[in-house]
Amino acid sequence: MELAARELQVGVSNRTETGLLMIDIDHFKKINDSNGHPAGDEVLAQVAGTICQAVRPTDAVGRYGGEEFMVVLPACQLHDVLSVGERVRESIARKPLYAEGYMISTTVSVGCTVSTDGGHFVEMLVKAADQALYKAKYEGRNRTVVKTMTPSILSLKGLKR
């Protein structure tokens, strides 16, 4: 949260937008219940590694709580935030994980937002990204949803190839 606040201030100073992703591992409780908590811990670590590989070197990844991660994207416009969120989602969906002797396939839901002017606080961005994440889960999971700081919401189901 401190890093997000700092990057938002830098964005205000530089007149650039700051993006935020909230990422939640779909059906994580089932992973813990079926495979055990050590396997769940390993899934968390592997998902975190996949997120780090899928974002830009200038982006910051952190565990927000439970099975949720936050990514701060400095100097990032809305279409870039959506692109990064979708790249994260696709990377995790196509990569089976191995933990405690189990092969575990998992997906994530991603909520995205971007600061469009200097009047937004970190809490507002987190709330918007959380609302988008909730919508992604409500719409069936394994998708990326963007909530702008205006009333409109855009939902994107990943393209299947």
What's the CATH number where 39 sits? Answer: 3.30.70.270
Sorting pLDDT into bands at 50, 70 and 90, what band is 153? Answer: very low
Is there a catalytic annotation at residue 7? no
Catalytic residue among 7, 17, 42, 67: 67
Between the alpha carbon of residue 81 and those of residues 34, 85, 86, 146, the distances in Å are 34, 6, 9, 9
- Cβ–Cβ < 8 Å for 102, 9: no
Lowest-pLDDT range of 33-42, 62-71, 114-123: 114-123
Nearest residue to 101 (alpha-carbon basis) of 49, 50, 38: 38
**Which residue in 12, 3, 4, 21 sits closest to 83, CA to CA?**
21
What does the pLDDT read at residue 118?
Answer: 55
Domain count along the chain: 1
| Tokens linked to 153 | 């919401």
What is the DSSP-derived secondary structure letter of residue 158?
Answer: P
Cβ distance 155 to 138 under 8 Å? Answer: no
145: domain range?
2-157
Q: Is the pLDDT of residue 154 over 50?
A: no
| Helix (H), strand (E) at residue 60 | strand 60-65
Q: Which amino acid is at 54?
A: A
- The pTM of the full predicted model, rounded to 2 decimals, is 0.87
pLDDT at residue 25 is higher than 80? yes
Instruction: Report residue 11's pLDDT band, with 50, 70 and 90 as the boundaries.
Output: confident
Paired tokens of 45: 């670590």
Whole-number Å distance between alpha carbons of 154 and 161: 22
